[in-house]
Amino acid sequence: MNIALIIAGGQGNRMGQDIPKQFMYVEDKPIIIHTLQAFEKHPDIDSIAVVCLEGWETVLQAYANQYKITKLHHIYMGGANGQESIRNGVYGLMEKYNKEDLVLIHDAVRPMISQEIISGNIATCKRCGSAITAIQCTEAILESENHKSSTNSIPRDKLMRTQTPQTFFLGDIYNLHQEASAKGITNSVASCTLMAELGHKLYLTPGSEKNLKITTVDDLEIFKALLNSCKESWIK
């Protein structure tokens, strides 16, 4: 069984809006519904769970009913940070599913997730044991202590920018969070960084520049543009 675990526990403070960004409307529907519809549509996704910001659970369920998200089976409470939110979802799923099932952990605010990326995650995880969506870094990278000046560049050839989904066997990601708790790791940035901190090998699967994470108002404008764009016929 393949389960999508959508992480929607954040406040979205960097967006500077009156409501959490995952519930903001874009093109007549909330951002989180755009995301859920991608997993609802995929034939290999059997179940969807959402880790939701506390107090917004009823709103989420109402939206799911309105937009016919029939695969949404579980809603879990968000945590104090991303790692805790993911852990809450993983622990909840362990009570209902088998350790051999796959869990695709995905940001609620990455609504442009493609069917190809979902399929790639499932295939890579089944083959290798994990799947981290990633794209090669194409920009020149500078290191800065104060975000104002720099004297050091970092070679980009070996750098990968990670995205979500990040996919694991449920038993493996559960054990990872157990190990992190035992070692006092409480605020790792993502599942992939947590795996790296604990010395586990990661396997990558191709992402896309379109699979953006909506963090700022600029990202919101890019998302709107992508929704209304179409591929030129001459592009291969």
* Helices 57-66 and 31-41, packing angle to 10 deg: 50
Cα distance between residue 14 and residue 207, in whole Å:
24
Helix (H) or strand (E) holding 222: helix 217-227
Cα distance between residue 21 and residue 93, in whole Å:
25
Say which CATH superfamily domain 2-131+161-227 falls into.
Answer: Spore Coat Polysaccharide Biosynthesis Protein SpsA; Chain A (3.90.550.10)
pLDDT of residue 10: 82
Give the pLDDT of the chain (236 residues) as one tens digit per residue: 999 999 999 876 666 677 899 999 999 999 999 999 999 999 999 999 999 999 999 999 999 999 999 999 999 999 999 999 999 999 999 999 999 999 999 999 999 999 999 999 999 999 999 999 999 999 999 999 999 999 999 999 999 999 999 999 999 999 999 999 999 999 999 999 999 999 999 999 999 999 999 999 999 999 999 998 876 555 55
Q: How is the chain split into domains, by residue range?
A: 2-131+161-227
The answer to whether residues 64 and 39 touch, using CB atoms and an 8 Å cutoff, is no
